[in-house]
Amino acid sequence: MFLQNQKGDKFYLIIYLALERADLKSLSSIIREKKLSFASPDSLLKLLNITPGSVSPFGLINDEKHLVCVIVSNSVLKGKKIGFHPNINTSTLAIKTGDFKRFLE
């Protein structure tokens, strides 16, 4: 999920399991933002070079200025492997959780 703060000057990539419910109100409180909302398709394309429906942590490769803050649910990191769209929503790529952690570093 690709979000922005109320001012539209901070962006967040939220990674959680498909079975989890995203509680934007609680998340806003945790990261000390007044309000979070979905970022525009233009911001998504500009920052991660991907389109709605294809949101993926692999888009972070395109965030050369590191403007996007990544928040990963603990439950995502509990499994041995994790599956994500490889920047296109017609495929899923499974990688080892340890490799995903290294990618985020």
Per-domain boundaries in the chain: 2-104
Q: Could you tell me the pTM of the whole model?
A: 0.89
Task: Decide yes or no: CATH 3.90.960.10 for domain 2-104.
Answer: yes
Q: What is the pLDDT of residues 17-60, one digit of tens each?
A: 878 888 888 889 889 999 999 999 999 999 999 999 999 999 99
Record the tokens describing residue 72, joined without a space.
Answer: 């990963």
The structure tokens listed for 76 are 């995502």
Record the tokens describing residue 3, joined without a space.
């979000």
Q: Please give the distance of CA 90 from its chain centroid, rounded to a whole number.
A: 18
Q: Cα separation of 14 and 3, whole Å? A: 8
- Per-residue pLDDT band at 105 (split at 50, 70, 90): confident
Count Cβ neighbours within 10 Å for each residue of 3-23 and write b for 16 or more, e otherwise. Answer: bbbeeeebbbbbbbeeeeeee
